[in-house]
Amino acid sequence: MTDSPAGVRVQRAGPIAEIALSNGPLNLVTKDLLRAFNHALGAVSYDSQIRCVIVHGGDARAFCAGSDIREFADLRHDASEHKILFEDMVLRTLARVPVPTIAAIDGPALGGGLEIALACDLRVCRRGVALGLPESSLGGLAGSGSVRLARLIGPARAKELLFTGETIATDKALAWGIVNIVVEEGSALDGARRLAATIAKRGPLSNRFSKQLVDAAQDLPNDAALSMSTVLQQQIYDSSDLREGMSAFFAKREPDFLGR
């Protein structure tokens, strides 16, 4: 386990890395938290042995309850310089971690907290936690959250949540596709660990390439995404992992993938 000066903790369990936000009982988004989180994301992104990353709220009451509003007082014309651009860069870094990422939501994920969860690939939450983008109630704006939410659940549903600023029940969040799993018993972190363990057993190249292709399907023209698919499929056929997977299949054993 490693600790950053701001309290973000990184723990490694085999091929799975866990990043625990730790900034007070509500895990408020501050400059210090963002710096620490960005450092942790860089560390896990460059570790070729990691096959899945879990982001969770540590010992706090909230996964992350959003931005520390006290920081807004000195922000006006220079908000892009002092908050918006850096925060956006950190969330982009999270979204671009090359391996699957899971947000384990055991407490409220509001505003900037839900934006962190939306930048992950998958979301596991405990039943009954509060989820929402309440910025409109303060006259604010969920910038990247508006974009990621709309791409995830469609424009009409995203606008409903953004315009009203209300939280959404976990059952409804599951039905709408905001979260992937609602945990009935135990913690969301336990549920995320079970999901991560399954992911870590699969071909690491397969999962890295799948993530690239799903993202490309949203970001690139269809023909460009399909061209990328052709290139990545050839890399899979060239890989030792596919040979190992075939051998394990015929031998009726678990494959031992090496990620190459």
Cβ neighbors of 27 (< 8 A, separation 6 or more) are 21, 33, 57, 58, 60, 62, 63, 64, 65, 113
Candidate list 18, 135, 185, 244, residue with the active-site label? 135
Q: Are 219 and 126 in contact (CB under 8 A)?
A: no
C-alpha dist (Å) from residue 139 to 79, 116, 142: 15, 20, 10
Q: How far apart are CA 184 and CA 99, in angstroms?
A: 27
Tokens of 90: 């950190």
Instruction: Say whether 135 is catalytic.
Output: yes
Candidate list 115, 166, 184, 185, residue with the active-site label? 115
Q: How far apart are CA 174 and CA 148, in angstroms?
A: 16
Q: How far apart are CA 90 and CA 19, in angstroms?
A: 14
Instruction: Say whether 254 is catalytic.
Output: no
Q: How far apart are CA 50 and CA 14, in angstroms?
A: 8
Cβ neighbors of 230 (< 8 A, separation 6 or more) are none
- 3-class SS of residue 123: strand
Beta strands in 2-63 (DSSP E): 2-3, 9-13, 16-20, 52-56
Active-site annotation, residues: 115, 135
